[in-house]
Amino acid sequence: MSQTKASIFESDGIPAFSKALPLALQHVVAMIVGCVTPAILISDVAGLDERNKVILVQAALFVSAISTLLQLFPIFKGKNFQLGSRLPVIMGISFAYVPSMQAIAESYDVGTILGAQVIGGLVAIFVGFTIRKIRVFFPPIVTGTVVFTIGLSLYPTAVKYMAGGASSPDYGSWKNWLVAFFTLAVVIGLNHFAKGTLKLASILVGIIAGYILAACFGLVNFSDVSSAGFFQLPKPLHFGLNFEPSACIAIGVLFGINSIQAIGDFSATTVGSMNREPETKELQGGIVMYGISNITGALFGGLPTATFSQNVGIVTTTKVINRCVLGLAAVILMIAGFVPKFSALLTTIPQCVLGGATISVFASIAMTGIKLIMRQEMNFRNSSIVGLSVALGMGITQAADSLATFPAWVTTIFGKSPVVIATLTAILLNLILPKDEKAS
């Protein structure tokens, strides 16, 4: 007896595999590069060898898949509370944490990042359960300032990668810059002139094009791919868990901010594809699961995850909200995470290619921050909040010796990444400055 398949435009039910597969692959194509790039960036800063670099990339794919499935299909669903948002979202390793993770990796190791991530997960769980009361402290002027600062702080990373990577012997060579700008040109061209899947996959196509050109210049090394295995399960606690108080504070603050920021992606998903605001239990369950999945992910060596805005864009554009479609995308990611050869292949992408592709991503992060900021009137009060927060955050971290006489933990929290200072300054100024002040 034949069974009627569910529509891809319905949240529940199982659609036809022939319809679900291409749509799932579209989600994978749109996010896979962004998902593994933070792991590659951090492994370079931490000085990991190729074997451990592959393991970190594997963990990124596996943890992103698990986090996505836990959001899509709540393990507990009650009348007023559920564990997971049950909304059509894709989770992946987040760029928002990269500046702070780089600072921690320089001074400590990957295990210290993962230990701080466990604490950050607890912060997210707390935010989830108290979301109604805490949300007032994070209006768009605060979250926008934080997102804008994150984008700005990532620019030097992208430029160094475009030049070939600071540790590379040919750093700054014309070959690196040529490949980087070629990659960037392809990404920009597809973003503005292509349509459909080609536009959604612009970063992936740009990286493939840049990769081919880099290979022609002899910038690609396949030696580590041949030695990688075909199948390997994730390795729990491979990098360990180290709890350094200063690192925990720095990452914990970001988890609090990104928990609030997740509301934006959940809201964009429901408003754009379902014509409604998200329910309180969807927001609460999504943020609590965000914390739980990050704690679980840290045990498997996966760096911090967050909702992926590019996949939110796909959902709102196509109106395909069937959770099985996105679940299939997560399964594809998980399978990829079990194949070291695939992970090793991703690590062969030259740094100049990654730089050319990701600088547009970092630019879009900064512009997202500006859009959030502009939701509120830019009077003298709000201009002061944004200007002072970004000035202190970027200024102190760029003047590396400005905290030289303070204890090391002060430098780790406030002197390495501008995001923490910008966040705390924005929150304090928003609370202190009078809200009835009019622009004169």
Compute mean pLDDT per 10 residues along the chain, 440 residues long, and list them.
66 84 79 83 88 89 94 85 89 86 90 95 93 78 82 82 80 89 91 77 82 88 73 86 92 85 76 78 91 95 86 74 91 87 79 84 78 85 92 85 79 74 89 70
- pLDDT confidence of residue 207: 84
CB of 286 closer than 8 Å to CB of 76: no
- pLDDT confidence of residue 355: 85
- pLDDT confidence of residue 340: 80
- pLDDT confidence of residue 186: 92
Cβ-based neighbour number of residue 28 at 10 Å: 21
Distance, CA of 41 to CA of 101 (rounded, Å): 10
* 3-class SS of residue 232: coil
Distance, CA of 174 to CA of 171 (rounded, Å): 9
**Taking the domains of the chain in order of start, what are their residue ranges?**
17-228+236-432
- pLDDT confidence of residue 120: 95
Distance, CA of 279 to CA of 78 (rounded, Å): 13
Q: What angle do CA 424, 428, 430 make, to 5 degrees?
A: 120
CA atoms within 13 A on the CB side of 257: 30
- pLDDT confidence of residue 112: 95
- pLDDT confidence of residue 126: 94
Q: How far from each other are the two terminal CA atoms of the chain, in whole angstroms?
A: 74
- pLDDT confidence of residue 3: 56
pTM for this one? 0.76
DSSP structure class, residue 4: P
- pLDDT confidence of residue 145: 86
Distance, CA of 155 to CA of 361 (rounded, Å): 10
- pLDDT confidence of residue 179: 92
- pLDDT confidence of residue 439: 45
